[in-house]
Structure 1
Amino acid sequence: MASGTWKTIQERWRHHGLPMLGIALVATLIAWACDRAHLLKDTEHLAYDKALVEFTGGRAASGQVVVVAIDQSTIDAISQDTQLQINFGNWPYTRTLWARIAQELKAAGARAVLFDAVMDEQSSDKSADLGFAQALRETGLPFYVGMASSGSAKPLVRADFQAPVPLSTPEAAPHPEPPGDTFPEEFEDAPAPAPPVLTPEARARALAFPVSRTDGEALPSLQGTSRDPRYPVPPTPALIGAMSGFGLVDTEADGDGSMRRTKFAYTDGINTYVTLPVRMMADLLGAKEVTLSGRTLHLGEHTWHVDDDGGAALDYGGPLDTRFPQVTLFAVLNDWIRRSQGKSVDLDAALFQGKVVIIGGTSVGLNDIKATPFSSTQPGLVKQATVVDTLLSGTFITRAPAGVDLGLTFFVALVSAVLLMTARWTPLEVAWPPVLILGLFVLTGVLLKTSHTHVLMAMPALAGVGASVAALAFNHLVANRETQFIRQAFNRFMEPKRVEQMIRSRQLPRLDGENKEITAFFSDIRGFSTFSERFKEDPRQLVRILNTYLTTVSGALLREGGCLDKYIGDAVVCLFGAPMAQEDHAVRACRGALAAKAAVEVLRVDFRRQGFPDVYTRIGVNSAVNFVGNFGSDQLFSYTAIGDGMNLAARLEGANKAYGSVIMIGPRTYELAREHIEVRELDRVRVAGKTEAVTVYELLALKGQLDASTRHTVARYHEALGLYREARFAEAAAVLEAEAARSPEDGPTGKLLERCREYLESPPAKFDGVANLEK
């Protein structure tokens, strides 16, 4: 980074550091307040969903969970088969069907079954319920069914998990089983056994599950956001005791209806209950209790990171049809029929082996279609399958701590303010907000993918955009103030149209100073002390004459884009290339010097006519890198330049006297403007305090405007100068004498002739062809 740029950055930080900090802080507080007021919830949901899909989607299918789908093809196949219609009826099918499915899944080697539905209505055929219960007992297949909560349900008694099981039952009489190749309709007339009689304690023990929080926080309430209490709806009594367990399957959707999160345990104020996947996994992992400790969920020896509220976001990894192997319910039923008939099954023998089976509806007609980040029409069972898969071998998505979100928000706001208030670059001001939002989106997605952490995006984005807008407003205010200052500061020293051009092009000078190459102009009136002596008794007349002279010279310079630096008595100091950058500053300075010379010649004629003293003017022009900026004290400061280049320009002006020239320019000026000017090489000189010699030139005219007579004089001068540098003073003098006779008014010819004659009379002890310019 260039030192000048770094100085600008430091200067802006020093002057505007507190506003930057204040803008970031205010933007952060506003964004935080909006988030707390839930004004950003919908935006955050959209951003989260997009990041989840883009960065976590496309995961391979699960190898631990298989979905048995109650799809439209199953419903159609059963409704179109008379025998199946007689046995199982229409949806919702008799529980005899689920007995057959349980038998087939057990035979196929399923590890456990989660049925994403409720069975809280007693069948009109009580024997079907009892037969289903008997089938579950005989197969020993872990089978778990959902339960819903309702405001109309009655509260259960408090479950005492330490007491003996108070289940008093007349044991259900064995339900006769059909031979392997027959259907249950042959047994419809069999006497139905009596259902079990459950005590209130037994019902509570069957539905509730021990849950504790060791951090002192309360469990989520079944009441949710409603004021009416809700309690679990018990399943049909025939299934309690036969089922392995029951869990809540209430829809856990956000306000927009999308399922993004789940909680693992609830309370109704009397008992604690767990969700259906947790209930099943507790048994599979040998856990007798669910424990929530801070941000950790414990099931036996297994732990998962969760949020402070006891919930977590679901890492779907993709839509249902790509994440979990699926098979239709009819295919499983067909395999049971084939197996009971002694035939080979159609499904792959390894499909269910050691897998957890999720049974649920996928048909639109079953009214279990929900929205997830991956699709607005996903079967509700995708949530249960995802939770089970994560509990088996995955990680939930958890929210970053509030301090992290707030810290990121402040950081984004601060970076936005500092960047825009420091750079003040229009393309960056336009591009930064979308780049900021894209960057936050990528950050959110990467963290979701790599660490399963959800960092808020909407709140930092709002703070960043807000800080950006405030920074732009501040920049606009500062720019207006700087523009006004520039206009006031430079209108006296530059043509107003040049000042406005500088402002429009945003070439505002760095008032704190910078190193840059410029061309300096110095002019002075010959014999001004004598000049002023004539007006000792009339100083006002001197002022009028001097003002006329300075206005004439300044006007010529301003028309070429020069910036008047200062007046030192009769002397004029002008800068080209600052404060407004000018690539052709050397050419402009040369044109300005020639224009000033011409204007002064006209003025001299006028002054002679009025009887005023002569204003013969000498000019020095030099190009070099100087330090330009505001200099001075607390009481007075001005825009000027300092450096060796300025000193040389001043000395070149004075050196005209020694060479009889009017405009002397330095070597760098000649190098930059040589294609546009006519010059005479005057000499090689050494400035006081310097050892290196430089070549100086007399500026004569613009390119192509030198008359033939002057061109001849310049050629003879160069010829004599070559002889002079070889110390051939007599030969040089002869050339110069001839030219002096022809052009007696040419000052440099006469001055060089004087030196040659002087050296002929008193030869120098050591001659190197270089003249010394004293102060």
Structure 2
Amino acid sequence: MALLFGGVLGLLVYLRPTSVVPPRDPPAAWVPSAAVGAAQAWLEGWERVTYDWRVRELGERSERPDEAVVIAIDDETLAEARQDSRPGVATQPWPRQLVGRMVHRLVQEGALLVLVDLPFTDLSPNACVPPAPAGPSCDDAAFAALLEREPGRALLAFTWEAQGPRVLPPANRLWPYRAKLGVYESSEAAYLRAQAVLAGQRPAFIIPAGSQVEVWGGAMDEADARGLGARLGAPTLILEPRRAADDTYRVGPTELFVALTEVQVEGLEATDLIELRHLEHPVVPLLGGSSGYGASTLLAGRDGRVRAMPHLVSYTVRGKRHILPSLPLAAAMRLAGTRSLRYAEGRLHVGDTYAFPMSRAGISLLRWDAPNVGRGSRGSLARSIRAWNVLLNVFDVEDERPARFENDLEGRTVVLTRTTGESAHLHTTPLGPRTPGGAILGQALANILRSDGITRAAPDLDLLLTVGLAFLGAFLALSLSFLLRSVRGAVLYVGFLVAAMAGYTFGAAYVFVEQRLWVAMAGPLLAMVGAFVATIRYAYGTERQIRDFVHNALGRYVSPDVARLVARDLSLMRPERRQMSVYVCDIEGFTRLSEGLPPEQLVGLFNDYLTEISAVVRATAGQVDKYIGDSVMAFWGAPVRTDRHAHLACEAALKMREVLAERQAPWEKKYGHRLSFRAAVDTGELVVGDLGSELKSHYTVLGDAVGMASRLEAINKVYGTFVLAGDTTAQLASGSYVFRVVDQVRFKGRAQPVRVHELVARRGELTPRMQEQLALHEQALTAYHQRRFAEAHALFERASMEYQDAVATLYTARCARFLVTPPPADWDGVHGVDEVGPTASAA
């Protein structure tokens, strides 16, 4: 069961998706994709629940980072802007040059970098605002000029989609000529020249020329070409007809953007990353060398929650895949002053400054530094500032007034973003349902700057944990199954499982909080519970089989305590030699009784008798061995070992006398007869075990004490006693029970005589009359063995008359015989079995 649950769930954990983006390629034909996919999704859903809980626990123990600050274009900012009379402020979207003035002001207030998380995918729809230059895209040009004033301090965002068909710009055939605009040594310079061409809404071509590259621009005719050259500062102009082959070197806005944005990563292949199908990048006028670019796209899981940041993605241009960074990663590269990225041992190294966990798919799990979304627009960050405060500072400085707000941005990175109530700007995260996207970018940047993050455990480790907990669940279920025999035990049984689950949960949470390591929780816990429940069923079935075996071997009347102990340790049934006590009893006059009762009544009476006898044996931890006609044989000391077997056998004998005495009246009323029995107990070394043939076996005992108990039971009739005991039994139990010596007998086939005792009563229950009788018997027996037969005769006769003592009556007859014919001189008081009485021989 452990292997089944651990293997199945472990395989699902091991084959977990490595990317948050579903693969486009169909799975292999042999994989039952629908069933496996559904199972993985179900298991991963539960795992995400445990992950979110651990994330919040980690957030409880963290401090909100202040390395990044959100500049929020929130509802209050837009409400204030709608009431303002300055040009362009009340419109939406704002003129881009207004955004540029905000960027400039933020840098002046000490911001290290400004991450502009706003869309600039189309030319600005706003008219120019003085003193911007005139032209159809003067707003974009003014924005670019403002960014040029702060070179390297602003990063613009782009977005992407990983699904859907690839969208390629159509080849433009409306430009029949191409004009040569310059020859450059580096591709970077060539791309900057191409950007100027593309900004004029005409195609650009970058054509290799040996070790150099040439930049050409599309032209309608010679005059158009001369105008283009004049605008771009290329007075010497070469004009050629455009050929179809030129489209191979054509550079569109996307190609230009990719060339300006791409990064090189040592140790990581572009094929390992998410491949993009579509880019939404800033318009050409904003593609310059002074700005940086990074992706602001956030990926949500199947449940719609954002838990990770895709820091590296790939995009294919003319058959070659290029690696593009996220906005936080691009910012970290600027802050570190490097373009060098290296991937090693599950971490992405940004130069020698930062190194943070990242999967080979380019995705980093976010380490949230708060347990919930903060007030306003800060998310898990320490601070957020309304964009309106920044705008007022812009206006104050331009009006030569002191800035009214002290935003405390010195040495920090800011994220300028929209955080209005529109759903596109708010995301569901483990912290809550309304986390601003800009705050998520800020948290991702803080993770990089702190070289921090969450590492997911290797699939091998999760597989090992899943299988290990499955075996732990099975072990607990098997080793503690004995607790299921009571309600309290069942509660304790389940409590052990809950404790084990809580222990693993605590351990997984501790590793997550202290080591930032995400080990699987749902799979291992489900495997443990599944194996536990399945093993309970197995254990229940096995225990039932063992219980049936125990009852078959030991008999139906075995004590539950004994059965429970034997079921827990079957080695108790192993054959061995040990000291034990054997009990044999027989109904007096059963033959005569059986002939006088109808079969139905005889069976009913007999069954009632055996039930009472067996119940007493069971109550004293004994084992009913067998029924032989009206005889019952029982033993103590096996299968559960005890040193008090003689005491228990004697106690059983006395209890049987008491129980049968209570049952005499009901039996006589029901069946018309009374029952009396005679019994014997003997103790000795016996072989005990499951003995028999292949067809039938029985847990029983073999040894001299068995035969001796049977012989002692038989000679009860001679002495008129009810319970006789062997000498060893009397010695072991004399501390708790009272015995009197009856005789010394040499049985046929035995060289050594046997001292025979009668079990009289429990110590402490002797009446004064019984004490007087025992004292008189001992005095008479002493005189008898000292050959003072006249004295012994008188004493035994007195005991026989006063106490109706059958043993004394037998000795009275012996003494009378010895008075007539004395025994020989070597007489030792031992009588042979034939001398004891006629029934003794029969035994």
TM-score by length of 2: 0.64
Question: What is the CA-CA distance between 1:214 and the residue it aligns to?
Answer: 2.5
Distance change >3 Å, CA 525–CA 393, structure 1 → 2: closer
Residues 681, 718 of structure 1: 8 Å contact kept: no
Q: Which amino acid aligns with 2:46?
A: T
Counterpart for residue 13 of structure 1: none
Counterpart for residue 142 of structure 2: 131
Q: Secondary structure at the match of 1:278?
A: helix
Please say if 1:165 is aligned against 2:229: no
Counterpart for residue 465 of structure 2: 408
Residues 64, 356 of structure 1: 8 Å contact kept: yes
Counterpart CA distance in 2 for 1:352 and 1:136 is 19
Q: Which amino acid aligns with 2:332?
A: M
Question: What is the CA-CA distance between 1:248 and the residue it aligns to?
Answer: 1.4
Distance change >3 Å, CA 285–CA 625, structure 1 → 2: farther
Question: What is the CA-CA distance between 1:656 and the residue it aligns to?
Answer: 8.0
Distance change >3 Å, CA 402–CA 526, structure 1 → 2: closer
Question: What is the CA-CA distance between 1:385 and the residue it aligns to?
Answer: 1.1
Q: 2:420 aligns with which of 363, 369, 374?
A: 363
Residues 776, 799 of structure 2: 8 Å contact kept: no
Question: What is the CA-CA distance between 1:636 and the residue it aligns to?
Answer: 6.2
Q: 2:759 aligns with which of 691, 698, 718?
A: 698
Question: What is the CA-CA distance between 1:373 and the residue it aligns to?
Answer: 0.9
Counterpart CA distance in 1 for 2:440 and 2:705 is 78
Q: Secondary structure at the match of 2:452?
A: coil
Please say if 1:574 is aligned against 2:599: no
Distance change >3 Å, CA 122–CA 581, structure 1 → 2: farther
Counterpart for residue 310 of structure 2: 263
Please say if 1:109 is aligned against 2:103: no
**% same residue:** 20
Distance change >3 Å, CA 456–CA 747, structure 1 → 2: same
Which stretch of structure 1 is more off in the superposition, 451-460 or 743-752? 743-752
Counterpart for residue 471 of structure 1: 535
Q: Which amino acid aligns with 2:361?
A: D
Counterpart CA distance in 2 for 1:721 and 1:161 is 133
Counterpart CA distance in 2 for 1:762 and 1:333 is 138
Q: 1:663 aligns with which of 723, 728, 732?
A: 723
Question: What is the CA-CA distance between 1:379 and the residue it aligns to?
Answer: 0.9
Counterpart for residue 76 of structure 1: 79
Counterpart CA distance in 2 for 1:268 and 1:156 is 18
Counterpart for residue 211 of structure 2: none
The alignment of Structure 1 onto Structure 2 pairs a total of residues equal to 665
Please say if 1:557 is aligned against 2:568: no
Please say if 1:398 is aligned against 2:446: no
Q: 1:294-314 deviations in whole A, cap 9, x for unaligned?
A: 523122123323223232211
Distance change >3 Å, CA 413–CA 69, structure 1 → 2: same
Q: 1:627-671 deviations in whole A, cap 9, x for unaligned?
A: 986467877643247999999989997998999853257579979
Q: Which amino acid aligns with 2:193?
A: S
Equivalent residue runs for 1:171-210 within 5 Å: 200=252, 203-204=256-257, 207-210=260-263
Counterpart CA distance in 1 for 2:498 and 2:432 is 26
Equivalent residue runs for 1:330-345 within 5 Å: 330-341=388-399, 343-345=401-403
Alpha-carbon RMSD: 5.7
Distance change >3 Å, CA 749–CA 337, structure 1 → 2: farther
Q: Secondary structure at the match of 1:168?
A: helix
Residues 436, 464 of structure 1: 8 Å contact kept: no
Question: What is the CA-CA distance between 1:411 and the residue it aligns to?
Answer: 0.9
Q: 1:374 aligns with which of 431, 448, 456?
A: 431
Residues 56, 448 of structure 1: 8 Å contact kept: no
Question: What is the CA-CA distance between 1:369 and the residue it aligns to?
Answer: 0.8
Counterpart CA distance in 2 for 1:575 and 1:34 is 60
Counterpart CA distance in 2 for 1:294 and 1:482 is 54
Question: What is the CA-CA distance between 1:437 and the residue it aligns to?
Answer: 4.9
Residues 121, 235 of structure 1: 8 Å contact kept: yes
Question: What is the CA-CA distance between 1:580 and the residue it aligns to?
Answer: 11
Residues 88, 96 of structure 1: 8 Å contact kept: no
Question: What is the CA-CA distance between 1:195 and the residue it aligns to?
Answer: 10
Counterpart CA distance in 2 for 1:101 and 1:485 is 87
Q: Which amino acid aligns with 1:102?
A: V
Q: 1:376-430 deviations in whole A, cap 9, x for unaligned?
A: 1111123211210011014221221111111111111112222213322332664
Residues 114, 145 of structure 1: 8 Å contact kept: yes
Counterpart for residue 220 of structure 1: 273
Residues 576, 588 of structure 1: 8 Å contact kept: no
Which stretch of structure 1 is more off in the superposition, 581-590 or 570-579? 581-590
Q: 1:420 aligns with which of 468, 472, 477?
A: 477
TM-score by length of 1: 0.69
Counterpart for residue 522 of structure 1: 583
Counterpart for residue 366 of structure 2: 314
Please say if 1:291 is aligned against 2:342: yes
Q: 1:446 aligns with which of 507, 510, 515?
A: 510
Distance change >3 Å, CA 80–CA 23, structure 1 → 2: closer
Distance change >3 Å, CA 588–CA 71, structure 1 → 2: farther
For structure 1, the residue ranges without an aligned partner over 5 or more in a row are 1-18, 173-193, 224-228, 533-546, 604-608, 610-614, 687-693, 764-775
Question: What is the CA-CA distance between 1:339 and the residue it aligns to?
Answer: 4.1
Distance change >3 Å, CA 505–CA 358, structure 1 → 2: farther
Q: 1:1-37 deviations in whole A, cap 9, x for unaligned?
A: xxxxxxxxxxxxxxxxxx7656654665577685775
Please say if 1:51 is aligned against 2:103: no
Q: Secondary structure at the match of 1:88?
A: coil
Counterpart for residue 275 of structure 1: 326
Counterpart CA distance in 1 for 2:553 and 2:573 is 20
Counterpart for residue 282 of structure 2: 235
Q: Which amino acid aligns with 2:468?
A: F
Please say if 1:323 is aligned against 2:381: yes
Residues 161, 210 of structure 1: 8 Å contact kept: no
Distance change >3 Å, CA 196–CA 142, structure 1 → 2: farther
Question: What is the CA-CA distance between 1:575 and the residue it aligns to?
Answer: 4.0
Distance change >3 Å, CA 140–CA 626, structure 1 → 2: farther
Counterpart for residue 64 of structure 1: 67
Q: Which amino acid aligns with 1:248?
A: A
Q: Which amino acid aligns with 1:220?
A: L
Counterpart for residue 715 of structure 1: 772
Counterpart for residue 834 of structure 2: none
Question: What is the CA-CA distance between 1:362 and the residue it aligns to?
Answer: 2.0
Which stretch of structure 1 is more off in the superposition, 634-643 or 446-455? 634-643
Distance change >3 Å, CA 364–CA 504, structure 1 → 2: farther
Question: What is the CA-CA distance between 1:594 and the residue it aligns to?
Answer: 5.5
Distance change >3 Å, CA 300–CA 362, structure 1 → 2: same
Question: What is the CA-CA distance between 1:473 and the residue it aligns to?
Answer: 2.6
Distance change >3 Å, CA 122–CA 298, structure 1 → 2: same
Question: What is the CA-CA distance between 1:222 and the residue it aligns to?
Answer: 3.5
Q: Secondary structure at the match of 1:76?
A: helix
Counterpart CA distance in 1 for 2:551 and 2:810 is 48
Residues 24, 414 of structure 1: 8 Å contact kept: yes
Distance change >3 Å, CA 221–CA 747, structure 1 → 2: same
Question: What is the CA-CA distance between 1:476 and the residue it aligns to?
Answer: 3.3
Q: Secondary structure at the match of 1:482?
A: helix
Distance change >3 Å, CA 625–CA 396, structure 1 → 2: farther
Counterpart CA distance in 2 for 1:436 and 1:196 is 77
Counterpart CA distance in 2 for 1:65 and 1:648 is 97
Q: Secondary structure at the match of 2:274?
A: coil
Counterpart for residue 179 of structure 2: none
Counterpart CA distance in 1 for 2:272 and 2:311 is 10
Residues 311, 326 of structure 2: 8 Å contact kept: yes
For structure 2, the residue ranges without an aligned partner over 5 or more in a row are 15-34, 129-136, 172-183, 198-230, 235-249, 375-379, 485-489, 592-602, 668-672, 745-754, 827-843
Distance change >3 Å, CA 525–CA 94, structure 1 → 2: closer
Residues 799, 808 of structure 2: 8 Å contact kept: no
